[in-house]
Amino acid sequence: MSGPVRLGVLGCSAIARRRTLPAVADIPELTTAAVASRDAAKAAEFAVAFGGTPTGYDELIADPEIDAIYLSLPTALHHEWTARALRAGKHVLCEKPLTDDAARTRELTGLAREKGLVLRENFAFLHHPQHVRVAELVAGGRIGALRTFTATFGIPPLPAADIRYDRALGGGSLLDVGVYPLRAAQLLLGPGLAVAGATLRSDEELGVDLAGHVLLVSPEGVFADLEFGFQHTYRSRYGLWGSAAELSLDRAFTPPAEHRPVLRIDEQDHAEELTLGASHQFRTSLAAFAGAVLDRGPDEPAWLDAADETARLITEVRERAVRVRG
């Protein structure tokens, strides 16, 4: 197909309003063609702000003029509507995680493979070049043999009515913030991570987890120590501890577009800081998705494999976690 990709927006979420749809306007290969919400007034409001025609869910899926769907519904609805979009022949960019279950995720990735469609989770941080530089330094031996990866993503408590406290909609800290350290571990340590242990702090009344701590081990024996939750001051960072030095990165998952990342390398008697260029990770994520839809490059199987791996880890963390009261 030739561009631009005609994008249908399924779900008028806060992340769509604040981050994704403003970035779509900056991508020549994308255009917002329609916006769907269960609330007609909200769809109309989004259409005025970001373009496109206001519509409903079913109408959006059935519209032959729509090439791809950006899906930002609550996690509990991802499986149903992603499956419907794929069966209708639409490419899909779905907010993370794709689903909360390994089997349901495999069903969706299998559909994408069968139909030759692009299906990606919108982990925008993966498209920030700071992580490429980190991987280059590690591969080049700058910190010696890698022994441990640590990652933390925590945010303060949310308003009481926030949907991330709603079990029926797929709430909980593991699915909202915990998936970032899990995905970062996959990015930097590769596939085949094993869950060695996990703890989830849960609110029994709400029925959702509020915080968690996970220990993974890579096939090469590298430890991954991950923390996350809704009960903390803001923290978004990771570190790689090797035999010769430690490398750390702050604002790892949600850096502002103007932020210039600083990689800090600490040795026993020396410290060094490398300042990198700023990058708008939502724009690069959307541009990559549009490019994949237009070109169908060789990277799509890796994205599907990564979604399967993330869902497997989510499922195993839940199954193995020691649960404590929040």
**CATH number of 90's domain:** 3.40.50.720
How many structural domains is the chain composed of?
A: 2
In a domain, 304, yes or no: no
In a domain, 303, yes or no: no
Q: Are 120 and 173 part of one and the same domain?
A: no
pLDDT for 63-102, tens place per residue? 999 999 999 999 999 999 999 999 999 999 999 999 999 9
Nearest one of 230, 43, 265 to 140, comparing CA atoms: 265
Torsion angles phi and psi, residue 321, rounded to 5: -65, 135
Q: Are 274 and 288 part of one and the same domain?
A: no
pLDDT of residue 185: 98
Torsion angles phi and psi, residue 63, rounded to 5: -70, 115
**CATH number of 225's domain:** 3.30.360.10
Q: Are 106 and 162 part of one and the same domain?
A: no
Sign of CA dihedral 118, 121, 126, 128: positive
Q: Are 139 and 55 part of one and the same domain?
A: no
Q: Are 159 and 249 part of one and the same domain?
A: yes
In this structure, what token pair is assigned to residue 280? 């708008």
In a domain, 308, yes or no: no
In a domain, 94, yes or no: yes
Average pLDDT, 10 consecutive residues per value, the chain (326 residues): 89 94 95 96 96 96 97 97 98 97 97 96 97 98 98 97 96 98 98 98 95 98 98 97 98 96 96 97 97 86 97 97 93
pLDDT of residue 296: 73
Q: Are 228 and 202 part of one and the same domain?
A: yes
Q: Are 319 and 201 part of one and the same domain?
A: yes
Query: Running DSSP on this structure, what letter comes out for residue 32?
Result: E
Which residue among the candidates 42, 90, 96, 115 is catalytic per the annotation?
A: 96
Nearest one of 121, 326, 95 to 230, comparing CA atoms: 326
Do residues 14 and 64 touch, judged by C-beta distance below 8 A? no
One-letter amino acid for residue 70 of the chain: Y
**Domain, as residue range, for 176:** 129-279+313-325
**CA distance readout (Å), 19 to 81, 93, 286, 308:** 21, 14, 11, 25
pLDDT of residue 326: 79
Q: Are 91 and 170 part of one and the same domain?
A: no
Burial tier of 107 (Cβ tally within 10 Å: 0-12, 13-18, 19+): middle
**Angstrom distance (rounded) from CA 2 to CA 281:** 24
Q: Are 236 and 292 part of one and the same domain?
A: no
pLDDT of residue 1: 67
What HEC string does 3-31 produce?
CCEEEEEECCCHHHHHHHHHHHCCCCCEE
Residue 96 known to be catalytic: yes
pLDDT of residue 297: 72
In a domain, 306, yes or no: no
